[in-house]
Amino acid sequence: MSLRQTLINANTTSDVGRWDRGVRALLPFVLGGLWLTGVLPAVAAIPLLVFTVMLFPTSLTGACSICHATGISTLPEQDGSRPGRTAA
């Protein structure tokens, strides 16, 4: 498969589950609030906020290129089992 096709598949394949999407969407706001209230110092807050803001678009699209490249998926399997668990 070509690099172009790999990138297209990575950006069109949904591999982020509902809970994962929720955490990715809320985390920038929680960290921002902690930073603005002075609970989290700027030295720690700024790198964390940069990282979580980079994850935020994946919560909107449901596709994460890093998860796709590593083969990780937080979506439930079609048979109802969870990723990483085997169906009994």
Higher pLDDT, 10 or 62: 62
Q: Which of 29, 18, 6, 9 is CA-nearest to residue 62?
A: 18
Mean pLDDT across the chain: 78
Give which of 87, 85, 82, 75 is closest to 16, Cα–Cα.
75
Say whether pLDDT at 88 is over 50.
no
Distance CA 40, CA 46 (A): 10
The band of 65, judged by pLDDT with boundaries at 50, 70 and 90, is confident
Domain boundaries, the chain: 16-60
pLDDT tens string 25-39: 999 999 999 999 999
Query: Average pLDDT, stretch 44-62?
Result: 88
